[in-house]
Amino acid sequence: MKAFLALGSNLGDRLGNIEEALRLLRRCCRLVKISSIYETPPMYYTRQGDFYNAAVEIETGMAPLALLRETRAIEKALKRRRRFRNSPRTMDVDVLFYEGKIIKSPALAVPHPKLAERPFVLAPLCEIATRLRHPVSGLSVHAMLRACPGAAGGARRLPADYKEALDYLNELAPCGSFSTAPVRAALEKLGRPQDGFYAVHVAGTNGKGSVAAMVAGALSRCGHRTGLYLSPHINGPRERISLDGRNISEADFFRLFCAVKSFGFELSYFEYLTVLAFLWFRERRARFAVVEAGLGGRLDATNVFKSSLAVITNVSLEHAAALGGSLESIAAHKAGIIKAGCPVAASVSGAALSVIRRRAAAAGSRLYPCGPDERFYAKGADIFYRWGGTSSRPLKLSLKGSYQLVNAGLAMKVLEVLRKEDFHVPAGTAAAGLAAARLEGRFEIMKAAGINIILDGAHNPEAMSALFASLRAAGFSRPVTLAAIMRDKAAGKLIGIMGRGSRAVVFSAVVSPRVRRPGELARIGRVAGYKVHYKNNAGAAFTLARRLALESGAPLLVTGSFYLVAEIKAAMKKAAPPVFPQELLPAKGRPLSGIQYPVKV
């Protein structure tokens, strides 16, 4: 006998509940077709979470009432509890159709009497039974769905693969506030995966990614399985989450995305990836995870560890709307990653260091200030490390640019602190791993059409000043600069640094609602007396900047935004640019008293 069933869950692990119900069904009947999973809002009692729904076609030898008893047994096995009518539940299994029969009994009515008003049942049913018709009305299930009130937005098919998962993440609406609460709640429900590894937590205005990459590279070379969590990405979001230099696979990303989404957490893009990363690191039995904070520290989604080695690279006035308008308030946010009794390494100075010192003392944590490390030195664009005495050959770092001297020194300090904490971090092996670390978009030098192209995501005045100093040291003086600037950045100061140090500046847009219009930037530059141009898309801007560089024999610098670096790298590879989330764009109608984590660029 052929029958169609509907499954629904909106309590606990929704996907896991449906998968378990299907497993139990297989014991008593043959599953012919199973629909995709659909997510649907509740209909009757709306003050509850969204449902996961699916439809299944079965073949069974059971009579209708026997099948009903089996569905009730499955609901009981999944601990269905209903405190009141239409309340949240772990599992509903309804008999929709049975061999085209019409059944009316006190225990069972087939077809289901409320079928025509339920898009959450009809949508998955349409997927697996295109020719099915109602035995009373004669309507097809497609016609029933079209006529169903609220059908247009009533059921959303869940992502079925990695690409669709990215589409979902990139389309998330702005939600939540600048808080650790959403991630903490999700991680608690998922078994606190962040407790399964030793965390090196890196905060700071600039240099976080470089320091994190060097520390992770060193720990991996020392034989420790080491996760690395970075943001933003250049080529795609998988590069944010890696283990021993290998990015998470598309299959693992999608599987863990489904596992996190199943619980119905209201998370932003950044929060989703944070939870996903910690789950993957635990699953892969990472010994260490080096985690770059997204924004600030104290209220950042990554600040969920009971204990960790806190690393603070530097402090300058950026994201003042969220972190406060003074160095002291910003430093206090970054010092919020310090955990009681856990070591702290910091390369800050002045008032910011005083704030961090007070926080470390209050937490009973030992502070390891980091100044210039004379074992590292720059020669042109390259950085070298003297080790093993004067007779040893210096190690050449993969990361370039003299501004990396301070980052490399801090990374080495972190490794020395870990050695003092009795972790196995042999000096020579660690130095070799640090030197081999790579990171795109940081003084990255490429050659194309006979010109040197330097790509660097510097996007605040301190980073831009350090970048131009590094360019001069490397012999790349007065480049043609191609730049994009976001609306929340100090455009006047950035334009001044670029204008004084460049032969010409070409301003570009990028595919982000946060970008400042290139024409506005050009007007600011012209008023200040700089030679500036602008184009309204990255492709045209790159063509113009490259022509100016070729005509003048100058190098071409691409900077101001990691978004622009990503778009230009994609253009050079003749590939589609990656889609970026709106991680720092506030929700509409909300003042920027805290940064939201919305998502689509």
CA atoms within 13 A on the CB side of 359: 27
pLDDT digits 0-9 by tens, 329-350 = 899 999 999 999 999 999 999 9
* Residue among 119, 79, 92 nearest 7 (CA): 92
The full 3-state SS of 148-175, as one line of letters, equals: CCCCCCCCEECCCCHHHHHHHHHCCCCC
* 268-305 b/e (C-beta count within 10 Å ≥ 16 → b): bbbbbbbbbbbbbbbebebbbbbbbbbbbbbbbbbbbb
Quote the CA–CA distance of 483 and 298 in Å, as a whole number.
31
Helix (H) or strand (E) holding 493: helix 491-501
> What DSSP designation does 200 have?
E
Dihedral sign for Cα 68, 74, 75, 77, please: positive
Helices (H) and strands (E) counted in the chain, each on its own, are 19, 25
Domains of the chain are: 2-158 (3.30.70.560), 176-373+403-434 (3.40.1190.10), 444-572 (3.90.190.20)
The full 3-state SS of 413-470, as one line of letters, equals: HHHHHHHHCCCCCCHHHHHHHHHHCCCCCCCEEEEECCEEEEECCCCCHHHHHHHHHH
Predicted local confidence at residue 323, as pLDDT: 65
Q: Report in angstroms the alpha-carbon separations of 32 from 35, 60, 148.
A: 10, 10, 26
Q: Report in angstroms the alpha-carbon separations of 16 from 39, 172, 189, 260, 271.
A: 14, 23, 14, 11, 21
- Pair 71, 94: CB distance under 8 Å: yes
- Using the structure block, give the residue that is written with the tokens 């590069």: 239
Q: Three-state SS for 228?
A: strand
CA atoms within 13 A on the CB side of 479: 28
* Residue among 90, 138, 140, 95 nearest 114 (CA): 95
Predicted local confidence at residue 365, as pLDDT: 97
Lookup: tokens for 166: 């990215």
Q: Three-state SS for 13?
A: coil
Quote the CA–CA distance of 208 and 230 in Å, as a whole number.
9
- Residue 550 CA to chain centroid, in angstroms? 37
Lookup: tokens for 49: 């979470």
Quote the CA–CA distance of 178 and 185 in Å, as a whole number.
15
CA atoms within 13 A on the CB side of 122: 25
Predicted local confidence at residue 594, as pLDDT: 26
pLDDT digits 0-9 by tens, 199-219 = 999 999 999 999 999 999 999
> Can you list the residues of the chain whose pLDDT is less than 70?
82-86, 150-153, 173-177, 317-325, 389-391, 582-601
Predicted local confidence at residue 81, as pLDDT: 72
Predicted local confidence at residue 576, as pLDDT: 82
Lookup: tokens for 127: 């997927």
Would you tell me how many other CB atoms lie within 10 Å of the CB of residue 200? 28
- Pair 353, 345: CB distance under 8 Å: no
Q: pTM for the complete prediction?
A: 0.90
Lookup: tokens for 102: 């019409």
Predicted local confidence at residue 176, as pLDDT: 54
